[in-house]
């Protein structure tokens, strides 16, 4: 059966688990070949087997999203294996939560490095390829509600994710000339390893603010990414799509 993304090649950073793994799976279901990166080689191999079980071609590359060398190696490996890159999802992200007055320099720097600099490094490397290919492309940045409304205890993360929104808009303007569309998806509270450590009290307080009164699933985020990667989204660029059950409107 022919899928809407047959023949397309996607890179998903941090695609070995959580939201990234689900995005990879959703793109594979639509027929894309998927390259996933992450830091844990064993987990990556499991993610690749899972993608292959869905009938798709897949490749796992251990790479630190904050390292220029690693990003360039990842992009080269994808091109070597599949010959092209059509879709980039900048999903790799971390949190190091602390109150502002207690936050260490290292916690600030690392969160900005992985969430924001990582997206810049990957976008630069991939868009060079897309420009040469002359077939356009899609870049989707996973930001957060925290980047739009701020989150106490997450000044570093909120700044990185707000930065990613500015980066999305500026790169959308630059890359439009080559029909490369750049958008951001901002999830709210999604059940993954990242949110598992939330205390019951913090979870309750968040749920009370969500209009739908429940957390979201990685699949619900992946559906939005899949739409932005597909043929239904040809006139959309520089936008932020919130997938948050009405937490922030």
Q: For binding to ligand NAI (CB under 6 A), which residues are involved?
A: 13-14, 16-20, 37-39, 64-66, 91-94, 114, 142, 144, 187, 189-190, 192-195
Task: Establish whether 235 is a catalytic residue.
Answer: no
Phi-psi region of 110 (alpha: psi -120 to 50; beta: other; left: phi over 0): alpha
Q: How far is the CB of 81 from ligand NAI (least distance, A)?
A: 19
User: Of 171, 60, 74, 55, nearest to 123 (Cα)?
Assistant: 171
In this complex, which beta carbon is closest to ligand NAI, that of residue 168 or of residue 192?
192
Residues 103 and 156 sit within 8 Å (Cβ to Cβ): yes
Side-chain-facing half-sphere of 249: CA atoms under 13 Å: 6
H or E element at residue 35: strand 33-38
Q: How far is the CB of 197 from ligand NAI (least distance, A)?
A: 10
Catalytic residue among 12, 34, 147, 157: 157
> CA 234: distance to chain centroid?
19
227 Cβ neighbours under 8 A, 6+ residues apart: 233
Q: How far is the CB of 98 from ligand NAI (least distance, A)?
A: 16
Distance, in Å, from the CA atom of 91 to the CA atom of 143, rounded to the nearest integer, reads 8
User: Of 84, 98, 183, 96, nearest to 131 (Cα)?
Assistant: 84
In this complex, which beta carbon is closest to ligand NAI, that of residue 101 or of residue 112?
112
In this complex, which beta carbon is closest to ligand NAI, that of residue 123 or of residue 144?
144
Q: How far is the CB of 142 from ligand NAI (least distance, A)?
A: 4
Residues 223 and 168 sit within 8 Å (Cβ to Cβ): no
- Residues marked active site are found at 157
């Amino acid at each position: 059966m022919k899928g809407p993304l047959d023949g397309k090649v996607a890179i998903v950073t941090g695609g070995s688990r959580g939201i990234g793994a689900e995005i990879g799976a959703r793109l594979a279901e639509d027929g894309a070949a998927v390259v996933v990166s992450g830091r844990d080689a064993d987990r990556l191999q499991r993610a690749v087997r899972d993608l292959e079980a869905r009938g798709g071609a897949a490749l796992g590359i251990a790479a630190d999203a904050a390292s220029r060398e690693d990003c360039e190696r990842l992009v080269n490996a994808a091109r070597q294996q599949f010959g092209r890159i059509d879709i980039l999802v900048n999903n790799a992200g971390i949190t190091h939560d602390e109150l502002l007055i207690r936050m260490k320099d290292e916690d600030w720097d690392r969160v900005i490095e992985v969430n924001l600099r990582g997206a810049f490094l990957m976008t630069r490397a991939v868009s060079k390829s897309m420009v040469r290919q002359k077939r356009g492309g899609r870049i989707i940045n996973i930001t957060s509600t925290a980047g739009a409304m701020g989150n106490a205890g997450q000044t570093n993360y909120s700044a990185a994710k707000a930065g990613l929104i500015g980066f999305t808009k500026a790169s959308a303007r630059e890359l439009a000339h080559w029909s490369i569309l750049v958008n951001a998806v901002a999830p709210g509270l999604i059940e993954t390893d990242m949110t598992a450590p939330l205390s019951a009290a913090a979870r309750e307080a968040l749920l009370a603010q969500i209009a739908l009164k429940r957390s979201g699933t990685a699949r619900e985020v992946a559906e939005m990414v899949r739409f932005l990667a597909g043929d239904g989204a040809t006139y959309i660029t520089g936008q932020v799509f919130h997938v948050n059950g009405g937490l922030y409107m």
